[in-house]
Structure 1
Amino acid sequence: MNIKSPFVLKQIIEHRQLFTQLVAYIEEHDGDVEIPSRLYRFIVRQAIQTEATQGNDRERDRIRYTLSEDNLLRERLIIRKDPARGTLVLAPFVVDMLRHFDIGRMRGLSQAELEDLRDGLNQSLAAFQELPIDLKNDDFTDELRLLRRRIQDTLGKMQESIAALEAQGDHLADQVEQQDVGSLEGAAETRRALENINRIYQRYILPALEFLDPKTRFKKGVPAITAIRRIAKLAGESDQPALNEEMQLSANAIQSYVKDIDSLRLSLERYVRQDRQQRQQYDAVERAFNAIRLATEERHDDSFRNLYIPVRHAAIQSPGTFAGIKRMRFVRLEWHDIDHRADIEEFTDRRIEELRSQLDKAGSVKVDPARARRSEAELQEQLRQHEVQALLERWTIPDDCQDLHASLHDYLGSHLEGYTLNDLLEALDWVMALPDFKFHARFQHLEIAHGELALSYHPLIPREAPATEITV
C-alpha cells in the first residue's frame, strides 16, 4: 500500500512528541544524519501503542502502514536505507521540521555554517559582476533564483539560530541561578551550566556578530550584507530599481538580527565572566590540594612515624585558599588504610599549641618572610589600583572617542608614573563598571604595544555611533 507524503507528514506531526527523539539522537551524535532503524521502529511502536491504549484500532493500523520504512522510502521522506548496517537517513526537511517543533533541540549557527552562507552570497556577487543584469537572460535569471534562495536560507537560519540560543541561554541561566552552590552536586551542576554558556558564547554568539558586522575583514570575500548591497548597487546601475529595492530590503532584514544577537551577548556576558572567575578559583584550589598531596607523599614512609609536613612548607603557607569550601565534604582519601585528614588535623592542633607556648615565652611569633613579602606585594597592588581610580575620576571620555582602549592608554601614559598595560586593564574594568557606560565592541582586532608587552583587543566604540557600509 502506497500512502502519499502529506498523510505521512500529518501522522508525524500528530506524534511529534515521540519523533523529536530522532532529533535528540542526531544532536547527541554531533549532527550524524544516520539514524538506527531500531530507534525509528521503536518510536513507531510507541505511536501504535498510544493509539491501542485509547482503543483506536483503525488509527493504529493506519499508523502501521503510513509510517512503515518502505512507504517513507517510496515517498522520498527517507533518502537512504541500509539494511546491512541497520541505518536510515531522513530527508533534511523532515529533520528541520522536527527541530522546529522542539526548539530546545535546535542549535545556533556555527562558524563553519556562517562561513558557508557568506561564501554562497559571495559566489552570487561574483556571478552578478560577470553576467549582464537582464531579466530576459536565462543565465541571469538562474543566478537570481539561486541568490533569492540563499537570502531566504540565511534569513530562516538566523531566525532559528536566535530562537534556539535564547531558549538554551534562558534554560542554562535558570540552572545557574537556582542551584545550591553550597553542595557538591549543586556546584558541579552550576559549573557545567556555566561551561555550556561559555561554549554558546564563544561558538555561536561571537561568530554571529562577526557575520552580521559589515566592517569585518575576511581573508577572502566580503561580509554577507556587503555582498547583497553591492548586488543592489549593480542592479541600480543597470536600471533595475525593483531588484535594487529588493536587495536593499533583504540586506536590512539580515542586518536587523544584530540587535537580537547583541542583546543575547549582553545577557550572557555576566555568566561568561562568572565562568572564567570560577575556573580560576577551581584551579587555585586544585593547585593547593595537589601541593598538599605531593607533600604528604614526600613525607610518607608506610608507617607515618611522627613525620609531618613542616609548618613552613609551601603547601600550607596560604590556608585561606580553602576558606570558601569549609562546608564541602571531601571523599576520604584511602591510602594504605591511613586517615590523612586526621593526621593533618592532629598536626595542626599540635602546631597551634607550640605557637601558643612560643608566644607566651618570647612575646611574639616570627613572621614568615615569604608571606610578609606577598602581603607587601598585595598592599602595593591595592595602592596602585587606588591611584588609577583617582586619575579616572578626574577624566572625561572624549566626545569623539572611537577607541576607548587607545584614549585610556594615552591618558594614563601621560599622567601615571611607571605606567604598564596592567594599569590599562585595571582602568578598563573600572570604566566598564560605570552605570552610564554606553560602549560596545567592534569586531576588529587592534594592538597596543608598550614596553616589552603588547595588548590585542576589540576596540570599544559608542553604542549610538552609526554603522556605515564599507564600499570599494
Structure 2
Amino acid sequence: MKTNAQHTLSILFQHIEIFFNLIDYYNVQSKTISEFQISVYESILQSYIRKKVADTHDQKRIASALSLDNLKQCNLLAYMNDAKGIFRIQNDLLSVIKNIDSTRLRELGQPDLDIIYAQIKTQYDYFVQQQGHYSHYNPEFMEHLDALMTIMQEIFSKIEHNVRALDGSAKRLSEIVDSHNFEKHSPTEQVKKAFAEITRIYQRNILPTLAFLTEEAMTKDSSAIYLIRKIREAFSQTTFYEEASAIATIEMRLLSFVEVITQIRRKLHQYVEMNQRQRALYNAIEQHYNELNSLIINQLDSKLTGKTLSSQHEFFHRATIFNQLISWSRSSLTKPLIELPSDLNTQEAYEYIRSNLKDVEAFQSKKHIPAKKIIDVREHILKRKRVERIKRLMHSFHATECDDLYLEIHRYLSNKLDQYSLKDIYDARAFLYKKYTITTTLKRNTIQYNEHELSYPIKKIVEKNQYEITR
C-alpha cells in the first residue's frame, strides 16, 4: 500500500527514532553519514516495528509507508542504487533529522540527571530502611523491587541513547569547524553557531554527565552511581541473586560510558579553547582599533583632516620591539634563519607574523626542494651543541670599542672554544649582544689560522647608549 508524501512525512516524524538508530549505527561504525546501506535500514526498520508497534495492522502500515520504494516515490530519497545496495536521503530532510537528533541531548542535562538521582534516592531510602529483611512474600517490597528494576533499565536506555547522539553531534560540529580555514577567512555564521553549540554541549551535557558517571564520584552520597552500588551490595548479601546480578550489569555498563564521554570531552575541549582564543584575538583587535580610532578623531580639524600619527607615538610603543629582529645565516646553511629578542611579547609577534604571511613571495612561488643530504645523527647533534656553546660564550663577549670585529671574535673564541675554526666567527657574529652597533668599512683584512685563511671586510662596533638600547 503506497501513501502520499504528506502522510509519509507524518509517519516518518512520528517514528523518527528509526532514523536516529540509523544515524547512531553509522556513528558507531565511524563512517560518514552521506550514504546508507539498504540492508542496514531494512534491518533497523523491522527491528523497530517488531519491538515498538504491537498492532498488526499498524505494523503493516508503517512498514509500507517507510519502505524505500515508497520513500523514493514520494521524492524523499536523492537516489537509490539497488545494484550497490545503497541509498541517500534528500539533504534537506537529512538536515532536519539531524537537527531533531540534537534535541536528544536535552535528557543529559543537569536537571534531568537530578531527576534520575531523586528516583534512585527514593528507592535507596526504602531498601536501607528494610535493613536486609527482603522477602518474596512482601507485596510492598516486591512493588519497590519492580519499580527499581524498571528505573534502572530506563536510566541505562536513556544514557546509552543520548551518549550515541552526543557522539554524533560532536562529529557533525567537528566537521563544520575543521572544514573552515581560519588563516585565510574569518569565521562564517555557520562556524560561529557551531562554536556556540559546542560550548553549550560541553557545559550543559558533557561535564554533568561525566561527573555523573565518574567512579571518583561514587564515594559521595550525592552521586546516583554511589547509591546504585550500595543497593547492589545490599542485594548481594541476600537471596535475590538475579536482581543483584542485573543491577551489577547495568552499573558496569553505565561506567563503561565514561571512556566514550571522556573522548568526546577531549575532542570538544580543543574547540572550546580555540573559540576562546578567537574571541580573545577579536577583543584585542577591537580594543586596538577603538584606541587608534579615538586618536585619529582627536587629530581631526574643522576640515576633517589631520596630521599623521608619529611612529614614536605611545600607541606604537608595543610594536617597537620588532625593530630589534635579527636576521642571520650560518655558513653551513643556505636558508636564512631569524632569532627573536628574549623579551619579545609572543602574542604580538605571532599576530604580526600571521598578518604578513600573505605578502611573503616565497609562499606564492614554486617550491624548490633541496637535495636530500645523508647526515649522521650523531654529527648533527654535535653541530647543534657546538652552536649552543658558541651562543653561551658570546653572552660573555665584551668590547667597548673595536676596530676589527671579526679579529676580536677570532681571538676570543680561539682561547675558549675547543676545535675552533674560522667559520665559527659567522656563527658567533649572529649572537652578538644587541647593545652594540655594527658598521662596515671599505677596508679588508685577512686572518690565518690552522692552514686556513679568511678574507673579509673590516667591521667596527660601538656600544649603544642607554636610549638606543631601549628603543
Q: TM-score range by the shorter chain?
A: 0.3 to 0.5
TM-score (norm 2): 0.47
TM-score (norm 1): 0.46
